[in-house]
């Protein structure tokens, strides 16, 4: 059902069973997947693709012009995956040429009220961003990442798979996968593994123990990054999770929170 007060450009592609609420504005070159529900007073700007089974609540703004002074009107995009929920007053900006031209939100992700996703961010699948979480430009969040409310993340930061960042944190360095992190800028620290989250997602005790051994070597005994990486390779079973953790640390450009 499309409410008669909705303003929808003729170039919008709408799949079957889509609902669009009153006073919503949808501009050109938007694609909306099957069964998606868009509430009242939503604004969807050009070049946005929304997957199937999504729900976008009232007063959200998707695909707005990037808040980046380098942006000169080039054609850029937003892509939202399937079964993702965008709550009230969320803002998602389009990408920029410098960042590859696209802002992405994965499948089965929840963006709670007042979340801001800036230009060129890449959010994985099954992520949860609590109320007022704020992502600056060019941030990457892995799969199953949870970000607490009122948390701000600096541009270009990466947060690894299955990481949990506590509320009211200010994140200026990369957060490795599988960990709990919280704090304010220079005081942000790792607080061990996200064991509860890992067990909920089916990780075995053996998998968690291997990650724990690698975590201790990388972050708790005072080695340099190169020394720690070599020691993990020599002493810890190279499971996919351990390899993922080590590779994340090796490729970090901003440095990793400890």
At 111-149, the pLDDT tens digits run 999 999 999 999 999 999 999 999 999 999 999 999 999
Cα separation values, 10 from 27, 38, 43, 52, 242, Å = 8, 17, 16, 20, 50
137 belongs to the catalytic site: yes
Residues 81, 137, 142, 160: which is the catalytic one? 137
Residues 45, 68, 107, 120: which is the catalytic one? 120
Burial class (CB in 10 A: 0-12, 13-18, 19+), 122: buried
- In tens, the pLDDT along 165-177 reads 999 999 999 999 9
Q: All domains of the chain, ordered by start, with CATH? A: 7-138 (2.160.10.10), 198-251 (1.20.1180.10)
Reported as a pLDDT band with limits 50, 70 and 90, residue 90 is very high
205 belongs to the catalytic site: no
Which whole number is the average pLDDT over 53-82?
98
Residues 119, 142, 143, 148: which is the catalytic one? 119
Output the pLDDT for position 185: 83
- In tens, the pLDDT along 204-246 reads 999 999 999 999 999 999 999 999 999 999 999 999 999 999 9
Output the pLDDT for position 186: 79
For 228, list phi and psi in degrees, rounded to 5: -65, -40
CA dihedral 30, 36, 42, 48 (to 10 degrees): -20
């Amino acid at each position: 059902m499309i409410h008669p007060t909705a303003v929808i450009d003729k170039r919008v592609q709408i799949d079957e069973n889509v609902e669009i609420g009153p006073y919503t504005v949808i501009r050109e070159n938007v694609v909306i997947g099957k069964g998606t529900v868009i509430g009242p007073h939503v604004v969807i700007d050009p070049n946005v693709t929304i997957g199937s089974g999504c729900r976008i609540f009232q007063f959200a703004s998707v695909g707005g012009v990037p808040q980046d002074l380098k942006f000169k009107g080039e054609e850029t995009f937003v892509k939202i995956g399937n079964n993702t929920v965008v709550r009230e007053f969320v803002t998602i900006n389009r990408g920029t040429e410098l960042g590859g031209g696209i802002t992405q939100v994965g499948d089965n992700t929840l963006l709670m009220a007042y979340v801001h996703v800036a230009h060129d961010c890449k959010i994985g699948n099954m992520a949860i961003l609590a109320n007022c979480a704020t992502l600056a430009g060019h941030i990457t969040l892995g799969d199953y990442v949870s970000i607490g409310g009122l948390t701000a993340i600096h541009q270009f930061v990466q947060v690894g798979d299955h990481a949990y960042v506590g509320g009211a944190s200010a994140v200026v360095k990369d957060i490795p996968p599988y960990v709990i992190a919280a704090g304010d800028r220079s005081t942000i620290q790792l607080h061990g593994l996200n064991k509860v989250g890992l067990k909920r997602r089916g990780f075995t005790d053996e998998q968690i123990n291997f990650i724990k051994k690698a975590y201790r070597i990388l972050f708790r005994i005072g080695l340099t990054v190169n020394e720690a990486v070599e020691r993990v390779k020599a002493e810890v079973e190279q499971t996919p999770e351990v390899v993922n953790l080590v590779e994340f640390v090796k490729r970090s450009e901003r440095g990793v929170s400890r």
